[in-house]
Structure formats: structure tokens, C-alpha cells
Amino acid sequence: MRIFQNISIVRLFLAIISLLLLNSCKTETQKNDEATTQAMDRFKNLDTKSVDVFPQFVDCDELETTSDCFYARMHELIQTRLSTDTLNMEIKQKDSLVAVFTVTDKGQIRYDSIAYCANHLDRTFMDSTLNSKLVDLPKIDSALKQGVPVASSYLVPVVVQPINAHSDQ
């Protein structure tokens, strides 16, 4: 009886070893397919609504985790581009709009559209102006999600005013 118990234990042990060996003998293709499947599953579960690191301009502190520097530099860039006399004849008073920008995973900044425009502003004119003035924007470091560069979109408030307007209006 004891011999049969030992044989059963040996068979069980051999079966476990065989299963482990079969499982560890995967081909490189099987390993690559499994890794690809795991990566796809991880990507599907990735939160794409937020980023871990905001896009960074050259003069922003790379250790800064907030969007403050990014938005400050975007405002400066937009105001610089809009500070030509094009708006002088078309805009009667200081007002604002909210523009949508995308920073691609390659770091290219792109003006997309106007999300909100004050009633006093001609939306079509402003969209056309932004399209013409906000081209060839500088390349920056893109946003990161889990260490991977990703495209991200941002709503940026833009104050527009005629050239001859005083800043206290």
C-alpha cells in the first residue's frame, strides 16, 4: 500500500514538473504575442483624460508638475502673435474667447478652434485671425502619460483688444 502512495506522489510530482516545463517552453513568437496582448490590454485601460506631465516649453522647469508654466507661456505666445495691427479695425473693445489647442505627441502646438467666443466678437473673423496668426508655433516637449509622449488638448483663454485700447479698459 505504501508503495502505491509513493508512486502516486511521484506521478503527481512528474505531472506538475511536466506542466511547468511545457509552459516555460514558449517560442519567441508566443512570448512576443503575449507581451503585445498585455500591452494592448494596458493601453485599453489607460486613463486618456489626464496626463502625468504637462507639455513643457524650453524655459519651464521640467520638475514642475502643474500646468502653470505651460499656460503662462501659451498666453505670452498668443498675445505676442495677436499684437499686430490686424485687430485694430475689427475689434471695438477688449473682450475674451476660449481657444482649443492641441499639443501633438511630437510636441507640435496646433490651434484647433474656438470653444467659446464673447457675443461682442465676430467668431468667424476671430477664428480666421487665429488660424492665420497661430501658425508655425514652436515645438515643445509633449505631455507624458506613464512616461510615453501623448497628444493632449487644452482650453486656453485669450484676451483680445484693439491695438489702441488702454490696458485699463
Contact present, 157 and 77 (Cβ < 8 Å): no
| DSSP symbol at 63 | T
Q: What is the pLDDT of residues 102-130, one digit of tens each?
A: 999 999 999 999 999 888 788 898 899 89
Q: What is the pLDDT of residues 10-23, one digit of tens each?
A: 777 777 777 666 66
DSSP 68-117: HHHHHHHHHHHHHHH-SGGGTTT--S-EEEEEEEEE-TT-BEEEEEEEEE
Q: What is the pTM of this model?
A: 0.65
